[in-house]
């Protein structure tokens, strides 16, 4: 008596990994850094993250419907929330709500779905969103809060919510009273004014080896990033070469002219460098696929970041560096294709 079976393709194993798992691990690795951020700079960042995630999911659902694709599993694969969180972490805590809206529009709709959706975007969507709002709304994007320990005025939660909702400065005080320059801003302005770096570093905004508060946030990001490395979610090439090139070039510049070039550690622990090294530049879709290609990619991001920080118009260059290297990634991949088994070249 014959028995019939349904057929299926090899391998005949339960699935081992899913995109959702990969994305969730990335979110998990970001949590320590987010917590540190909220600790130093108040709850604003959490609201920004919530707004960005909400807008991202709405835009993603809208695009999927327009493209006539099923909402499940794409909405459930967590790639849009990850983009949203990375974008939100680059925002000032009191940025008005429409910054997140516009940023997510450009990130999800333009940078991701117009190019083909998950797996097809040429550029890092979070960075596209960030760069668009940075250039279009310089005032809102430079309203950074100083760390709560040295802040002249610490807005309460309700005031933070009001500020984000309305775009007005919290507590009726002017923006100048509430905001302050970031460590990178301070360095850049001091050098432009002719001050030595060592003098500039006397400012209370600096901590032990980086910016006050920022250095610890970077540490927590690094811990999360190392955990991702251990879990094999990201590979070591990009973080190592990115931070390595910054350290090497920063060291060379600092040795040549310590007056106008900060120490390499200062570079590493300010701005979005650590976040970029472990979470942004390691985005697999827009980066290189081959191991050697990733080495070149990471080094390129590091070098361009330093160049922009030193000579460019913006205090931090990670976002622009990532986007520029995204452009070069296919070419780099083409020239760093690994050798196939059994072939000599």
Partner 1 sequence: MQPDPIQTAKLAGTRLYHFHGGLRLRHNKQVSCELPIARAALPECVYVPLMQHSGQEAEPTVAAGQKVLKGEVIGRCDHAGGGWVHAPTSGTVNAIARHPISHPSGLDGVCVLVEPDGLDQWTALQPIADWRDAEPAELRELINGAGIVGLGGGVFPTGRKIEEASRRGIHTLILNGAECEPYISCDEMLMREQPASIILGAQILQRAIGADRTVIAIEDQMGAVYQALARAVAATDATAIDIVKVTTLYPEGGEKQLIQVLTGLETPSGGRPTDLGLLCQNVATATAVARAVVEGKALVERIVTVTGSGVRRPRNLAAAIGTPISDLVEQCGGYAEGAARLVLGGPMMGYSLASDANPVIKAANCILVLTENDIQPPQPEMPCIRCGECARVCPALLQPQQLHVTVRNGFWDDTIEAGLADCIECGCCDYVCPSHIPLVDWFRHGKSELRRVAAERAGAENARRRYEAREARLARLKQERRQRMQEKKQALGDQRAKQERIEAAVERARSRRRNET
Partner 2 sequence: MLTPVLLFTLLGGLFGLGLGWAARRFRVESDPVVDRIDAILPQTQCGQCNFPGCRPYAEAIAAGEAPINQCPPGGEAGIRALADLLGVEPLPLNPECGEEKPRRVAVIDESVCIGCTLCIQACPVDAILGAPKLMHTVIGAECTGCDLCLPPCPVDCIAMVPAAHAASGWAWPRPDLTRVPAGSR
Which structure tokens are listed for 57?
């999911």
Give dist(CA 129, CA 59) in Å, integer.
13
Q: Is the separation of the CB atoms in 140 and 96 below 8 Å?
A: yes
Restricted to residues 106-125, the positions that interact with partner 2 (CB under 8 A) are 116
Binding residues for partner 2 restricted to 6-45, rule: CB under 8 A: 9
**Of positions 11, 14, 15, 70, contacts partner 2 by CB under 8 A:** 70
Among 74, 78, 97, 320, binds partner 2 (CB under 8 A): 74
Report DSSP state, residue 209: S
| Residue 138 contacts which entry, partner 1, partner 2, none (Cβ below 5-8 A, type-dependent) | none
The DSSP string of 37-72 is: HHHHH-THHHHHHHHHHHHHHHHHHHHHHHTT--HH
Shortest CB 296 distance to partner 1, Å: 15
Residue 69 lies near partner 2 (rule: CB under 8 A): yes
Residue 202 in contact with partner 1, rule: CB under 8 A: no
Please tell me the distance from the alpha carbon of residue 345 to that of residue 341, in angstroms, as a whole number: 10
Please state, in angstroms and rounded to a whole number, the distance separating the CA atoms of residues 195 and 200: 7
Nearer to partner 1, 38 or 323 (CB): 323
Half-sphere exposure of residue 111: CA atoms within 13 angstroms, side-chain side: 27
Binding piece for partner 2, criterion CB under 8 A, among 71-79, 151-159, 183-191, 216-224: 71-79
- Residue 336 binding result from partner 2, partner 1, none, given CB thresholds of 5 to 8 Å by partner type: none
Q: Which does 76 bind (CB under 5 to 8 A by kind): partner 2, partner 1, none?
A: none
| Nearest C-alpha neighbor of 136 from the set 181, 175, 96, 99 | 99
330 forms part of the interface with partner 1 (CB under 8 A): no
Question: Does 235 sit near partner 1 (CB under 8 A)?
Answer: yes
Judged by the rule CB under 8 A, the positions of this chain that interact with partner 2 are 9, 69-70, 72-74, 116
């Amino acid at each position: 008596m014959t028995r019939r079976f349904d057929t299926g393709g090899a391998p005949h194993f339960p699935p081992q990994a899913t995109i959702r798992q990969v994305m969730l691990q990335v979110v998990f690795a970001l949590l320590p850094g987010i917590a540190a951020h909220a600790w130093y700079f108040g709850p604003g960042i959490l609201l920004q993250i919530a707004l960005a995630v909400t807008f991202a999911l709405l835009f993603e659902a809208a695009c999927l419907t327009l493209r006539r694709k099923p909402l499940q599993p794409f909405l459930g694969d967590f790639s849009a929330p990850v983009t949203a969180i990375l974008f939100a972490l680059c925002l000032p805590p009191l940025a008005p709500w429409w910054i997140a809206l516009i940023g997510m529009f450009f990130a999800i709709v333009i940078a991701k779905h117009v190019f083909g959706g998950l797996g097809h975007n040429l550029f890092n969507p979070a960075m596209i969103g960030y760069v668009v709002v940075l250039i279009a709304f310089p005032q809102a994007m430079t309203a950074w809060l100083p760390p709560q320990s040295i802040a002249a005025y610490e807005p309460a939660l309700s005031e933070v919510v009001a500020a984000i909702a309305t775009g007005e400065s919290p507590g009726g005080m002017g923006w100048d009273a509430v905001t302050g320059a970031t460590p990178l801003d301070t360095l850049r302005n001091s050098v432009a004014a002719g001050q030595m770096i060592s003098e500039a570093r006397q400012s209370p905004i600096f901590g032990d080896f980086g910016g006050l508060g920022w250095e610890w946030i970077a540490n927590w990001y690094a811990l999360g990033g190392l955990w991702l490395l251990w879990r094999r979610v990201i590979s070591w090439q990009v973080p190592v070469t990115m931070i390595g090139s910054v350290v090497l070039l920063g060291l060379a510049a600092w040795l040549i002219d310590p007056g106008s070039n900060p120490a390499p550690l200062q570079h590493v622990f300010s701005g979005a460098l650590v976040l970029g090294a472990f979470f942004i530049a390691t985005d697999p879709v827009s980066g290189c696929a081959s191991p050697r290609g990733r080495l070149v990619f990471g080094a390129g991001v590091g070098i361009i970041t330093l160049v922009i920080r030193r000579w460019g118009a913006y205090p931090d260059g990670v976002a622009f560096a990532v986007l520029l290297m995204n452009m070069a990634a296919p070419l780099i991949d083409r020239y760093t294709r690994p050798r196939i088994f059994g072939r000599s070249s």
